[in-house]
Amino acid sequence: MSLDKPYLDVPGTTIFDAEQSRKGYWLNQFCMSLMKPENRARFKADERAYLDGWQLSEEQKQAVLARDLNRCISLGGNIYFLAKIGATDGRSFQQMAGSMTGMTEQEYRDMMVSGGRTIEGNRRIGEDGDAQAHRQPQGRAGGGR
């Protein structure tokens, strides 16, 4: 029996529920491995080889290699685990969040300090607010570092 998920209609939002957790189990385990200095060194020395040692889908591996965090989230990644990739790259959480919204770190900081995104036009998918997919990098082809 499928659960009702009314939250699937929130623009720019992926809820980390049980389904996402199952989908991203190995992706998140990989991320947690980066807490150990020796694993960070192995990953940075040969990212693809290190990823190949984990039971990730090819799509998950490609998303990590491209540092496409929005794609990682859609493939089951949890942002708190994915932050380990950013830390391994020497990036702050704020820098990562900015990249996920198509903003510079300063633009993202300024938006958050001024109260964040407006809810107008961002309550449901298909409205015309600034958080809608067609206004975000995850709504267009590309991404990456």
Kindly report, residue by residue over 35-67, the tens digit of the pLDDT: 999 999 999 999 999 999 999 999 999 999 999
Q: How confident is the model at residue 141 (pLDDT cuts 50, 70, 90)?
A: very low
What is the rounded average pLDDT for all residues in the chain?
87
3-state SS, residue 34 = coil
- Exposure pattern of 51-89 as b/e (b: 16+ CB <10 Å)? beeeebeeebbbbbeebbbbbbbbbbbbbebbbbbbbbe
**Dist. CA 89–CA 13, nearest whole Å:** 24
Helix pair angle (79-88, 93-100), 10° resolution: 110
70-125 pLDDT tens trace: 999 999 999 999 999 999 999 998 899 888 888 888 888 998 899 887 888 777 77
